[in-house]
Amino acid sequence: MLLLKLATRNIFRNVSRTVLTVFLISTSLIALVFMDGFATAMASAMSKSATRLFPGDSQIHQRNFLEEYNQTKVIQVPNIIADLQAEELIQSATPRTLSSGTISSSSNMIAAQIIGVHSLFEPTVSKLKLTVIEGDYLSEELSDNTTGNKKTNKHSNKSEILIGQKMAERLEVGLGDRIVISMPQADGKDFVQELFKVTGIFSFKSKQMDSAMVFIHINRAQQMLGLNNNTYHEIAFNFKNNTDATNLELPIFAKYSNRQIIAQSWTQIMPELASILELMTVSIVAIGFLLFILVGLGVVNALFMSIFERTYEFGVCRSIGTSARFIFVQIMAEALMIAMISAVIGCFVGWCLNYYFSIYGIDYGQLEMSGATLSEPIKTQVNLSQFTIYPLQMILLTLLVCIYPAWSAAKIQPAQALRKSL
Amino acid sequence: MKSDFNLDSQSNNQIVIQTRNLCKTFGEKDTLVKALDDVSLDIKAGEFSAIIGPSGSGKSTLLQMIGGLDVADSGEIILAGNNIADLSSGALTRFRRDHIGFIFQSYNLIPVLSAAENVEYIMLLQGIEKVERKERTFEILKQVGLLGRENRRPGQLSGGQQQRVAVARAMVSKPDIILADEPTANLDSKTGIELLDMMKELNEVHKMTFLFSTHDPKIMDRATRLIQLVDGKLTD
Ligand SMILES: Nc1ncnc2c1ncn2[C@@H]1O[C@H](COP(=O)(O)OP(=O)(O)OP(=O)(O)O)[C@@H](O)[C@H]1O
Ligand SMILES: [Mg+2]
C-alpha cells in the first residue's frame, strides 16, 4: 500500500517527464502492434494472391517432376482427386497436365507451356476462370476425369483453348481464330500437332503468365500426350484456411506423399516467395528489437534523472531506516506503473489503428512482387497475441532495464546523499 | 520490534552513546581533511546536548557516524552497549529505524506524502497496525501543534512546520536517541527557538536522548550540555 502510494505519487511528480516516457513506450508499442498487424496481413495477402491466383496452396507431383520436368513422371493414384476433395481441411482440388510446346498462328510461332485443366474443378482452386477478359472460359468437361468415363461426342468443344492477352497480341489472333499446338508426347517418341480455336483470352496481369501459358481441356491434353485418363502431372489443392498450407506438420502432407508422389506446400514450391515473406518477419523482429533498445534507453534515462533529482530524499529515507530493498522495490514499482500505463494506452491505440485498417484497408495500388500481385487494399489483422505478447514484452523490458537504475538508487550512501544538496 | 538489540536505556544516567577514539578523514594527500580527530564522547540517557563549532568542524560527520550513516576510519561507536561495527548493513538499517530518530537541517520530509503520512512512514516500515499508527500519529502531531494540518504536503507547510513534522516523525517510533543536524539552521531565530523549546519539552516528557548540532548561540542556551568541536577535535 505504502509502495503503491509512493510509486503513483512519484510518477506524477514530474508530469511532463512521465508523459514523455509513457509516450515513448506506448508509441513503440503502437508501432509494434500495427507493424505486426500490417505485416501479417501483407504476408497473407501476398501468399494468398500468389497461390490462389493459379498454383494453389499446395501441389502434388510425382517425385522429381518439378526438377526434371520429365513428362512420364505422372501421378497415377485411383480416386485421388475425390479423396482430396473429401478431406476435412481441404477446400478444393484439381488435376493438371503440364507440357511444353509451341503455339503457331498464321503469322507467328511462340514457345508455350500447355496446361491441361479440368474445366469444372480448376475454378475451385485458381482464378483462371475469373481472369478470362474476352470470350468464354472452357466449357464443361466432356468426360469425367475422376471416373474415366469417356463420352467422345462433340468434338468441337475439345478444341477449346484459353490463351493469354500478351500471347494473343504476339500471335496476332483473336477470339475464334485457329491456332496449332505442336508438342512431343509424354514419352518423347512421337510428336503431335493439333488445331485449336481460341475461345477465351485471359489476363493474370503477369507478363510471364500472359505471354507463355495456354490452357486446354485436360482430357484433350492427356490424349495428345498419350497419357491415360487418370494420370496427371500435378494436382493443386487449396486448404479451407490458407495458413494451413504453411504448416508442413499437418498429416495431409504425409498422407499424400509416398515413395512415388509428394505433396508440397507453396513454401516449398515457391521458395523465393516464402523467403521474401520470411524476410518480412525478420525485419519486423529487427525493427522491434531497435524499438526495444530505444525504449530501454529512454526509460533508463528518465528513471536515472528522476533518481538523481531525489538523491537527497533517498538519503533521508535511508537515514531514518528505510531498507535498500525497499528503495529498490519502490523504483521498480514506479517503472512497472509507467510500463503498465503505457501498455494500456499502447494497446488501446494500437487496437484502434489495426481495427480501423482491418475494415478500411491500406491501399497499395498495384504491387507485383516475386510472382505475388497485390491488387486489393491490405486489411490489417487484429489478433490477440498483439495485445498480450507485445505489451508483456514491453513491460518486462521496462522492468529489466530499470533494474540497474533501481539498484543504483538502493545503493545510495546516505552520508554522501545528504551532503549532495546541502 | 526492538527485541533483537539489547537496549535498556530507560534507567537514567546510563550511557547511551559512547564513541571511542573516533577518527574520520576525507580526501587524499593535499585535499586530506581530518573531519574527526580522536573523538571520545559519552552521552547519558535523557541528555539534551548540543554539538557546537564552526563550519567544517565535523559536527555533521560526528552525527552521521553516530547514526551509522557512515563508517569511521578507526575508533568505536557503542550505542547502548551495541558496537555498531558488529551490525550487518541490514541490521544497521533496522537499528536506525527502531532506535534512532534523525532530523536534518531541511528537506526532511518525503514531498509526495502528507504530514501525517510522513509521520506514519516509519511505523509502516515497522509493520505497526493501522489503528495504533493512526493513534500515535494523531498524538504526536498534537504534541508538535500541527493538528488540522496533517493532510498538507510538505510543500504546503512553512519551514518551521516542516521541521515540526520532522521532529514528530523522529519521535513517533519512540527511538532511544534523536540526532538532529542543525535542525533550526533554516528557520528564523524565533521559530528556531520555538522548535527547540518544543524539542526540550518532548525530551523532558519522553526522556529521550537528544543530540543536536547548532551554530546559533541562542539555541546553545537551551542545551543541558555543550560539546565543542574544532577541526574535528573535542575541546572544552
Ligand atoms: N564526503 C566528503 N568528502 C570530502 N570531504 C568531506 C566529506 N564530508 C565532510 N567533509 C569535510 O569534513 C569536514 C567536516 O565536515 P562537516 O560537514 O562534518 O562539518 P560541519 O561541522 O557539519 O560544518 P557545517 O557547520 O558547515 O555543517 C569539512 O572540512 C568537510 O569539507
Ligand atoms: Mg554540518
ipTM for this model: 0.91
Nearest to B211 by CA among B66, B2, B24: B66
Which residues on B lie below 8 Å from A312 (Cβ)?
A: 107
Candidates B64, B97, B110; nearest CB to A415:
B64
A422/B contact by beta carbon, under 8 A? yes
Overall CATH class of domain B15-235: alpha beta
CB B67 within 8 A of CB B100: yes
Contact (CB<8Å) A320/B122: yes
Candidates B64, B90, B104; nearest CB to A323:
B90
Task: Record the pTM.
Answer: 0.78
Q: How confident is the model at residue A421 (pLDDT cuts 50, 70, 90)?
A: low
Nearest to A110 by CA among A256, A240, A212: A212
Q: Which atom of ligand 1 is nearest to the CA of A415?
A: 1
Average pLDDT, chain A: 88
Distance from CA of A333 to the nearest CA of B (A): 15
Contact (CB<8Å) A415/B70: yes
- State in Å: Cα B73 to ligand 1 middle: 15
The residue ranges of every structural domain in chain B are: 15-235
Q: Please write the tens of the pLDDT for every residue from A71-89.
A: 899 999 989 999 999 999 9
Question: Which pLDDT belongs to residue A282?
Answer: 87
Which residues on A lie below 8 Å from B102 (Cβ)?
A: 316, 319-320
Long-range Cβ contact pairs of A291-298 (< 8 A, separation 24 or more) = A291/A28, A291/A31, A291/A32, A292/A28, A292/A393, A292/A397, A294/A24, A294/A28, A295/A24, A295/A25, A295/A28, A295/A394, A295/A397, A295/A398, A296/A397, A296/A398, A296/A400, A296/A401, A298/A21, A298/A24, A298/A25
Q: Please write the tens of the pLDDT for every residue from B103-115.
A: 998 888 999 999 9
Q: How confident is the model at residue A368 (pLDDT cuts 50, 70, 90)?
A: low
Nearest CA in chain A to B92: A321
Question: Which pLDDT belongs to residue A342?
Answer: 95
More confident of the two residues A158 and A252? A252
Q: Please write the tens of the pLDDT for every residue from A177-226.
A: 999 999 999 888 899 999 999 999 999 888 888 999 999 999 999 999 99
| CB pairs < 8 Å spanning A and B | 73
Number of H helices, E strands in chain B: 7, 10
Residue A181, Cβ neighbours under 10 Å: how many? Answer: 23
For ligand 1, residues with CB inside 6 Å are A 416, 419; B 26-27, 33, 35, 53, 55-61
Q: Which atom of ligand 1 is nearest to the CA of B215?
A: 25
More confident of the two residues A370 and B214? B214
Residue B6: pLDDT over 80: no
Q: Please write the tens of the pLDDT for every residue from A24-65.
A: 999 999 998 998 888 888 888 888 778 888 899 999 999 999
Residue B185, Cβ neighbours under 10 Å: how many? Answer: 17
| Residue A401 in grid coordinates | 532495464
CB A14 within 8 A of CB B112: no
Q: What percent of chain A has pLDDT over 70?
A: 92
A3/B contact by beta carbon, under 8 A? no
Contact (CB<8Å) B122/A317: no
